[in-house]
Amino acid sequence: MEELRERVNKLLGKLNIEEKKRKARELEKEAADPSFWKDRHIAAEKMKELANLQKEITEIEELQELIASGQDEKAQKLLEKLEVLLYFSGPYDEGGAILSIHSGQGGVEAMDWAQMLYRMYARFFERKGWSFEVIEETPGEEAGVKSVAITVDGKRSYGYLKGEAGVHRLVRQSPFNADKLRQTSFALVEVLPQIAEGSETAIKEDDLEWEFYRASSKGGQNVQKVSSAVRLRHKPSGIVVTAQSERYQGQNREYALRVLRAKLWLRQEEERKIEEQKLRGEYKTPGWGNQIRSYVLHPYHMVKDLRTGFETSNTEAVLDGDLDGFIEAELRGIGLP
């Protein structure tokens, strides 16, 4: 039990409840101002932040009470839940994410698999209460999607999702083959942070090359009649970003810049990590050579994370968005800051 109390004290020191209370008081004071709701979007985000702070404060205080009253079993469960918060130490872990899915080898099978992954993550976002929006989608010729990019807005959504980056492998009986042969398909998941304009990732206007064209995705007659879709090329890096989900060109420009900022930051991070690996060993970038999870639907049912060893035979639940076990195992595998 002494070990339990040491873990609790360590957690309380790192979570800094007094700072959370101070921030909550500030937000409550802002919300009381009659002008608070003039910008409803900003006000809604601040109210969401306040609700998250209040929830964390309540749970921390409950943990203190459980320890003080000797309810060690209940304290242990709550402690494990709160300890996950310690893993969000990255510069953008607290904010939103941009998640992209790309179909790989396997033709129509892989495009269908990419669509299944999109559905899985959409259900996960809904479970978390996060809002999300498709900003780019390339449909498959027969079924599924070739690629889809989604902005995700929710507390710590980037921190939770960044470990999902890598190759996801599906093994199943083919629904597109009359003989129902066993088929293996691959899809790549990319996860980027949402980085605000004016961050350290500066972008010069002279380095940008814009192209405007008519959107090919669904969106009504207006989308088809005007050149609302954008393709953005960053000349120094060669990075190309497209956005076409919105009806208006200005919104798609904003999305494209948001994705470019994130991609440039990620490239800088990967370069930094590669340098660090000169002392620590091999560094694997989350690309096509890095398989992270296997989903087997035939001849048996099993989803297994190849990094942590976490697995479950309840494939239906996983594909319906039950990812918490996999994500928390990955977070804990990284180690405390």
Q: For the residues 168-176, what does the mean pLDDT come to? A: 92
Residue 268 sits in the same domain as residue 127: yes
Q: Is the pLDDT score of 222 beyond 60?
A: no
Cα angle, residue 166 at apex, residues 279 and 132 outer, rounded to 5° = 125
Residue 334 has pLDDT above 80, yes or no: no
> Amino acid identity of 115?
Q
Residues 103-124 have a mean pLDDT of 94
Q: What CATH number is associated with residue 232?
A: 3.30.70.1660
User: What would the two tokens of residue 19 be?
Assistant: 């700072």
| Boundary (domain end) residue, out of 63, 87, 111 | 87
Bridge partners, residue 303, by sequence? 295, 312
- Give yes or no: residues 125 and 190 share one domain: yes
Q: What is the pLDDT of residues 315-324, one digit of tens each?
A: 999 999 999 9
What pLDDT does 294 receive?
A: 97
Q: Are residues 62 and 208 in the same domain?
A: no
Q: What is the pLDDT of residues 225-261, one digit of tens each?
A: 456 788 899 999 999 998 886 667 788 888 888 899 8
Residue with tokens 């910008």: 39
**In a shared domain, residues 72 and 166:** no
What's the CA gap between 49 and 55, in Å, rounded?
A: 10
Do residue 68 and residue 100 come from a single domain? no
64 and 203 share a domain?
A: no
Point out the domain boundary residue: 29, 60, 87. 87
- pLDDT tens, residue by residue, 31-55: 999 999 988 878 887 898 899 889 9
**82/163 same-domain check:** no
Alpha-carbon span 142 to 234, nearest angstrom? 32
The answer to whether residues 257 and 290 belong to one domain is yes
Are both 9 and 33 inside the same structural domain? Answer: yes
Q: Predicted confidence band at 289 (pLDDT cuts at 50, 70, 90)?
A: confident
Task: Identify the band that residue 131 occupies on the pLDDT scale cut at 50, 70 and 90.
Answer: very high
Split into its structural domains, the chain has a count of 2
Range of the domain at 35: 2-87
